[in-house]
Structure 1
C-alpha cells in the first residue's frame, strides 16, 4: 500500500514521537533522517513534557502502578471509572513505546530500585508482582533501562497456563488464558528477547503464547468460533492494556520481523477487520478513549481521524500486503 502524498504529509506533521516512526516505516526515509527526528523526543513535544513530570525519586505521580493519591475506595476506583494512566509504569511504557532512547532516563533504574514499591504487598519494583500484564511491562521497561529483570522472565515460564497463554486473574484461580493478558505478556517477552536477554526457552514460551492467539485467529473463541467480544474490533490509541485486532496484528508484525518469518495466514481475519476500518482517504478513526486520569492527550478525540491509528493500520497493511503479493 502506497500512501497518497496528502495522507503521508498529514502523518509527518506530527510530534517527534510519531514522526520518526512514520519516516522509518512508511516514508522510507534514510536512518540519518529518522534518527534525527527520534532524538528530538527527549527535547520537545510529548516526550519532553512527560520527562519533565518525573519525580526526583525516579517515579511519576508518586507511585508504581497507581498515583500516590489514588483512593482505592473512592469514585475513581469505581467500575467503569477507568484507572489512572499517570503513574510510573504507564509513563515508562509510553516513553518506551514512543522510542525514547534509554540514555534520556539515565539513573532511573537505580532510583526506582531504591524508591519504588508495588501497591501489591509492597514488593520491590524490579522484582515484579503477581499480575502478568504488570510483569510484562516491567520486564520490557527493565530490559530498556538496564535493570536486572531475569527473575521476571523466569516468572513467565512458570506461570504460562496449559492452553499456552496467560491470565492476570490466575491468582484468583483462573485456568484459561485471556486475550488481553496473553498479548501483553507476549509484548514483554518479545521486547526482552529483542534486547538480547532471552533464551531459546523464552522463545519457545513466546511461540506457545502466540499459538494461543493464532489458533483463535486473533478474534474468535475456540469453543464457539464467535467474536470474543466487541472490544476486539474497536481501535483506540493509546493501546494501554486493552486488546484489539490492530494491537495484536502490530505485535505479530514485530515478532515475524524479529524471527525473520512470513506472516502467519491465520492473521487474515484480523487483517480484514483492520482493512475494513480504513476510510476512503486512507485514515482510521479514533473509536474510543479509555477512561481514566492522564497527564495530557496525545491523539484525536473519538470520532475524529487518528494519526496514531492511521500509522499503525498503514504499517500493518504494508507489511501484510508486501508479504502476500
Structure 2
C-alpha cells in the first residue's frame, strides 16, 4: 500500500468521519437530488460501429457536471455546528463548482484548493458562487497538504472530491436515475456502465447503486492509476513524469482505500484512452447529441468508440461534465476527425 495522504493524518474531529458508503445512503441521496434538480436526460447515441449505447447527459447539471450530486448529499447532511465551521475542498474544477453551489444554497463558507492552471471557466464559476479559491502549483505543491493546513488552522470540515462516503453515495444517485430510465427506454436496467474516472468516486457510487451491472472506469492515458491499481491489486500512483492530458478533470494522482476497496470488490477492470480518442468523442457528442462535453467527461464515450469496451443494447455511457474552455472546445469540434 502507498503512504497515506496528508489528509489521512487529519483528526477525525476535523475530517469526515469514516464509515462505509451504503446502498441505503445512495437511495437517500437519490431522493434528495430528485427533490432538488430535474433528472438529466438519457439519450441514445449510435457509435461508429453501428451499435447504440445510452448516454447519461450529466453535462447538463446546473453546475455542468455530476459533482453536484456528491456535494449536495455531503453538505446537506452536515449539522448546524459543522456548517458553522465552514468547509475545505480540493478540486480541479468540477467538484469545486458542485461544492460552491451547495455551500451557497446552504449558507456555508467554503474554501476550495484548485490548481493554478485549471480552466479559467471553472475557477471563475466557483468564485462567482461565493467560494474562495486557493490556487496551487500541480507540479510542486500537494493540494492535500494545503487542504490539511487550512483545516488545521480553521477547524473546517473536509469535503473530499472522491474519498468521502457521502460523496460516493451522492455520485451513486446517478445510477438510481439511470436504472429507472433504462427500464423505460432500453428494455431493462444497464448491463454495463462505462464512466470517466479520476479518483474513483463515481465508479464506486455506480457499483453500489447498480450491483448487477459491470462498471468500467476509463482514465486518460498516463493518468491511469486506477486502471493499474485494479490490475495489480494494490493502490498505485500516477508517475511523476505523467504525460500531459487535456482531461484536466481526471488528473488525480492516486485513489483512496475507500474507493479502491469498493472497485476491487466489484471486480472492476478499467481502460485508458488517448487525447485523440477523447477529442473524437467530444465531436460525436456535439454532432449527434448537440451536447458540449469537456475532455474528461468524454473519456467513457471515447473508450466505446475505440472498441476498447464492448457494447450491447443495454450499455450506458456517462457524459460526466461539460465545463470546457470555449476556445479549446471550438478548436476541437472544428478539427478534422
- Fold match by TM threshold 0.5: no
Which of the two has greater strand per residue? Answer: 2
| Structure number with higher relative contact order (C-alpha < 8 Å, ≥ 6 residues apart) | 2
Which of the two has greater helix per residue? Answer: 1
Which structure has the larger Rg? Answer: 1
- TM-score, normalising length: structure 1: 0.28
- TM-score, normalising length: structure 2: 0.28
